[in-house]
Structure 1
Amino acid sequence: MRIPPPYQDRKLLKWNGFFLSEHTKQLSKEKTETNFIVPEKELMTSDEIDRTLYEARLKDRSIAIQKEEVDADNHYSPDIVGKIQGYDELGIYIANQKVDYDEIRNVEFIEVAKWSALEE
């Protein structure tokens, strides 16, 4: 009588067939996003920041704010994008969060694509 060879577990190899193309596409996208380094933008003066924020409030325009803070690797966080929802003496409210005036490194106008113009 012949003894069968011991069972060889293929570990993750056997699960690769269960990943759908949508899963691998999403995993690839997430990996790309986590490896993306936000470039450092030009440091604006407080007068330039004030003028840009004033015009954004006055004309109800969308803006992108780069905060001065960096992480442990000296990388900037992604821009805070949206319209100004409110303000007080210390800062502005944008995208449901408060940004103090002294935290702003750069602010610029952006064009937000309308939903009807988006392509798949």
Structure 2
Amino acid sequence: MTDHIDLSDPYFREYEDRGMKKWQGFFLAEHTASVSKENKRLHKKVPQKRKMTAGEIGQICEFAFNNDRQISLQLEIKDTEGKYFDDTIGFIEGFDELGYMIGDTKVHYDEIRNVELYDFHKWSRV
């Protein structure tokens, strides 16, 4: 048996490298999942809800605060592509002259576009 490789063999002369294709198997599942998640986020469109008056917003928020109900807020803030962010959902923990505390997030009054009572569906009853 020899350690010599015959380079005149057509297998070695006509070999075509697969280029980048051979490296695709090395992508980690986490990387692929994060790219997929980012693509979904970029293509997701949050519908624009009706702009409510300060009085309407105040009524719903007062009811939610007094009755310990969750609310869903659409903020008047858009991303760089002009899309609305996902709604802020939570309980009103408190409020002051500047805005509401929804969980641990401060939301200023002038940032609120729409507010609705949020119906929480417990997973065991779905």
TM over 0.5: yes
Is 1:113 aligned with 2:124?
no
Q: Which has the larger radius of gyration?
A: 2
- How many pairs are equivalent? 117
Aligned to 1:87: 95
- Quick one: which amino acid aligns to residue 39 of structure 2? K
1:57 pairs with 65, 89, 95, which one?
65
- Quick one: which amino acid aligns to residue 57 of structure 2? I
Aligned to 1:73: 81
Residues 45-54 or 31-40, more deviating: 31-40
Aligned to 2:19: 10
Aligned to 1:46: 54
Aligned to 1:97: 105
Change (3 A) 1:35 1:95: farther
Contact persistence 1:80–1:95 (CA under 8 A): no
Q: Distance in 1 between matches of 2:31 and 2:81?
A: 29
Change (3 A) 1:76 1:16: same
Contact persistence 1:62–1:83 (CA under 8 A): yes
Q: CA deviation at 1:25?
A: 6.7
> What's the TM-score once normalised by structure 2's chain length?
0.75
Q: CA deviation at 1:9?
A: 3.9
Q: Alignment identity in percent?
A: 42
- Gap regions ≥5 residues in structure 1: none
- Quick one: which amino acid aligns to residue 44 of structure 1? M
